[in-house]
Chain A
Amino acid sequence: MRFIYIGLLILGLMSCSESKMLQKSLQKYKAPIGYLHDSKIDNQLNKDTIFISTINNKGIDSITSVSKMKGKILPFIIFNYTETNMKVELGQSSIEQSYHEFFTNSLIDESKRSGRIIVDNRDPGKNPFSLEINIDTCNVRSKYQRNTTVLFFLIAYSMSFQELGFPSETNLVVTAKLKKEGKIISEKSYRVKRTQPFLNSQSINSAKLRSDFTANMVESLSLSTKQCIEDLIKDLNIAGI
């Protein structure tokens, strides 16, 4: 009986440290953020320019964090199966560029392509209109799984490990306030929920899997940002300041 308690204690300690170990390991991997603009370029001349007064980024955490989720233990006499699930939340530490800078530059680039009004972070000084952007929520979550299977034979045993990455889910909420001479004339929130399929979920080695896992989360954020910015520019075009 004592051995069972010791075994369970060891398993418990191992599963607690596993999330800490994964968090430490994921800090080694950074993925580039970016996307391909596929909107048509509007070559209209003499476009007006509005100034982005502020972009507040409260949404994204500074460090990628890992926490434990419900797992599974199947302790049979000849077959043992342990499944550890961990919830990973993306932080700035896993993104190569600053998310704030990426958002600003993508907004400016998209407005230059498809916007009737160019959005710029340098104040042209003539237009009374300005834009205030608040990144309210920026959550990218995913699941990372580690399985251990042990098979006992009469005089020998076999042990195998497997690590798996799951699709990442992004929840992005951005509020845009259009101002005229400092007064808000219109306000709208843009909500994007996106699930990014993880195509290479069973890599041969765990280093590549963890690198791909980070890239998948950043890809999800990139494409959600793309959708949010495109919607914002479309609305600005309709507003036609």
Chain B
Amino acid sequence: MKEYNNHNLTKYNFAILILFLGMFCCTPPKYIVKKQSELIKLDLDNAIVNFIPIPDNELIISNLLDSSFNLLINKKYRKLDKYINSKESSGIDTPDLFLSKTLLLITKKEYSDAFQSLTKIHDSDYSLLKKLLILDLNYEMARMNGNFDYNRFLKDYQSFLDSYPDDLTLKRIILIRLRYLRYNY
């Protein structure tokens, strides 16, 4: 009888473990990487997902970024991790590699490590994207540390948007970011 109970208990624990693993694996990423050309077509007015716009021409220029982008959008995170590690171990330290690594770490919600990787990209490379991601990561780290200040981030996103006044897609993306700030997601 005792043996039977233990067996049942093990089955029960296993079921709970599977349930938690399922919940953990299914947590959607907070930031979704999208091609800039695709973002223009999307209805972002009632969206509550943060998008990271990747310029189409950057994907044409860099094979590494293009491959990483495809793995990211297909949710093949482990494969992408291996791909980045293999590039790093072969001595590559180009901005597209650091950007790919940053995007992967953001998707995995490892924001401090993503910030470290982002700072390795020179300001001249991916300047708009880098500035946007710095703001996003500062926000995420402030939330983690419990020192989030809405007005500070509103000001930061405002001055960022003012540096690109004609970029309408960027404006729509930042409006969603502000919804996140307001609702403290």
Question: Within 8 Å of chain B (Cβ to Cβ): is A40?
Answer: yes
Closest CB in chain A relative to B154 CB, distance in Å = 5
Which chain B residues lie closer than 8 Å to A148 at the CB level? none
Indicate with 1 or 0, residue by residue over A10-36, a CB within 8 angstroms of chain B CB atoms.
000000000000000000000110111
With A32-B150, A32-B151, A200-B48 given, is the CB distance from A37 to B158 under 8 Å? yes
Among the 9-residue stretches A64-72, A116-124, A211-219, the one with 4 or more Cβ atoms under 8 Å from chain B is A211-219
Which chain A residues lie closer than 8 Å to B183 at the CB level? 200, 211-212, 215
Question: Within 8 Å of chain A (Cβ to Cβ): is B141?
Answer: no
Closest CB in chain A relative to B172 CB, distance in Å = 10
Which chain A residues lie closer than 8 Å to B46 at the CB level? 197, 199
Which chain A residues lie closer than 8 Å to B184 at the CB level? 211, 215
Q: Are A38 and B48 neighbours in the complex by a CB distance under 8 Å?
A: no
Closest CB in chain B relative to A94 CB, distance in Å = 13
Bound complex: CA A219 to CA B114 (Å): 31
Q: Are A36 and B157 neighbours in the complex by a CB distance under 8 Å?
A: yes
**Chain A binding surface SS class:** loop
Query: Which residue of B48, B151, B154, B165 contacts A36 across the interface (Cβ within 8 Å)?
Result: B154
Which chain B residues lie closer than 8 Å to A36 at the CB level? 154, 157-158, 161, 174-175, 178
Bound complex: CA A32 to CA B184 (Å): 10
With A36-B178, A41-B165, A199-B46 given, is the CB distance from A96 to B158 under 8 Å? no
Indicate with 1 or 0, residue by residue over B3-36, a CB within 8 angstroms of chain A CB atoms.
0000000000000000000000000000000000
Query: Which residue of A34, A37, A40, A197 contacts B150 across the interface (Cβ within 8 Å)?
Result: A34
Question: Within 8 Å of chain A (Cβ to Cβ): is B182?
Answer: yes
With A212-B183, A215-B182, A219-B182 given, is the CB distance from A34 to B151 under 8 Å? yes
Closest CB in chain B relative to A113 CB, distance in Å = 9
Indicate with 1 or 0, residue by residue over B28-67, a CB within 8 angstroms of chain A CB atoms.
0000000000000000001010000000000000000000
Smallest CB gap from B185: residue in A? A200
Q: Are A199 and B48 neighbours in the complex by a CB distance under 8 Å?
A: yes
Closest 4 CB pairs of A and B: A32-B150, A34-B154, A215-B183, A215-B182
